[in-house]
Amino acid sequence: MHEATEDLQESGDGGLRDRLVEAGVELVNTEGVQALSLREIARRAGVSHGAPRRYFPTHLDLLSAIARRGFAELAARVDAEDRESAAPRERIALLARVYLDYAGTRRGMYELMFRHDLLESGRLGLRETSLPLFARLTALVARVRPAADPAVLAGALWANLHGIAQLRHWGSLRLATGGDDPAPFLAAALDAHLGPAEPAP
């Protein structure tokens, strides 16, 4: 009864919605994407298991809201590190390092953000949330390789980064190459897509 009363009290101001999303963010970051059941999220938020349905009609809606927090956090990390005064290639390398670091330190959230069923569903415009970051990458690529199709080249580089992140997580990089430090793989990917870096003066 207490939980039901609390649900009603909070339903008017959006506090419950935020609590559910925050509980999901904490859960995915500590226990992984497989732990994100509606019942467990509700339990963590301290409400009845039916409460999430008031704001999130489906499980995918709630997962999408949680994943949007991940995209926002990744964008904030890039904004905090990016320097507009730096050379375009240096900024691309920085963006890529932040991306790979996020994939390694926020593994559960990273997996949720790129889950096919969430992206395919289009819930809460999730697919579009990655576009501003991709647009930044594309604009930088266009400055480094003006003769190339920047969207295609940026897409290829992004796919390469995603592959590095996944193979590193699975242990395949270490198995195949003897190491899983992303730095040399990132350097090789940048050289492959953008050409060799100019030597420092």
Q: Which of 41-50, 89-98, 123-132 has the lowest mean pLDDT?
A: 123-132
Tokens 């320097």 sit at which residue?
83
Determine the length of the chain.
201
Sign of CA dihedral 151, 94, 68, 63: positive
Q: In angstroms, rounded to a whole number, what is the distance separating the alpha carbons of residues 194 and 201? A: 19
Tell me the per-residue pLDDT of 8-18, one tens digit each, with 9 for 90 and over: 344 444 689 99
pLDDT higher than 60, residue 147: yes
Q: What is the pLDDT of residue 6?
A: 43
Residues of the chain with pLDDT > 90: what percent?
A: 75
Contact 82, 42 (CB under 8 A): no
Q: What is the pLDDT of residue 201?
A: 55
